[in-house]
Amino acid sequence: MNDISKQDIVTLVKLQEAETEIVRLNSVLEEVEKEKIKIAKKLKQFKKALDQNQEDLEKAQMMCRDSEQEIQVVDDRIIISNEHLRMVKTNKEYQLILREVDDNKKRKDALETEFLEFMDERDKIESIVSESGKEYLLLEEQISSEQAEIEKKSSNDKESLEEYLNQQKDIGKTLAPALMEKFRKISKMNQGLAVTRVKNEVCLGCFMNIPPQLYIEVQRGNSLISCPQCSRILYYVNTD
Ligand SMILES: [Zn+2]
């Protein structure tokens, strides 16, 4: 059995108190990072949908422009044909051009109907883009204030973590390096709980009974006793 002083045990308990806070703060900060990623993802997804809407709008605008140009082309043809009509010499030629004008007018009607549909579609998408653009700005604002809130909260936690780490370093200086190493090892194996109280012959780390002889030794407090079940360093506090 390793002989240690009562002061060593006090030091180990203090080391554990800091360790518990360090483990807690690390896990809080880890959650914060996850939350931040989640929030950023939400905004990114919305932006993606917004970009898609914008792309749809550009396509619809292009369809309108193309359709307008096509109508213009057909219109020009009608004008030219009408001019020809005035200059033709034969009836056959006249009929031919007349039919051409007629065909082009039909084509123009069809194109105009199509153009109206394209415009309707464009207006619909335009209002979607405008609405979702406003929504995006609101979401962006909301998210940036959420992130600022999280940042503020976690900066306090980061500060505390730094303090506990320094505190632990200072406490550790008064311990023998081998004991410190043992503490580290046990803590790593037990999710940050290396030193635990024994009460009524029960280890409060794993809640198993410890043998009476070991309990007596823990109560004496002048040797390093580990729980036979969970290997945690045991200590006793007289609460009577
Ligand atoms: Zn135990």
CA of 210 to the centre of ligand 1 (A): 8
Neighbours of ion ligand 1 (CB under 5 A): 203, 205-206, 227, 229-230
Q: Cα(176) to centroid of ligand 1, in Å? A: 23
pLDDT in tens, 166-219: 999 999 999 999 999 999 999 999 999 999 999 999 999 999 999 999 999 999
Domains of the chain: 29-158 (1.10.287.1490)
* Structure-token pair, residue 162: 């730094």
Helix (H, G, I), strand (E, B) or coil at 237: coil
pLDDT, tens digit, for every residue of 73-121? 999 999 999 999 999 899 999 999 999 999 999 999 999 999 999 999 9
Distance 8 CA to ligand 1 centre (A): 20
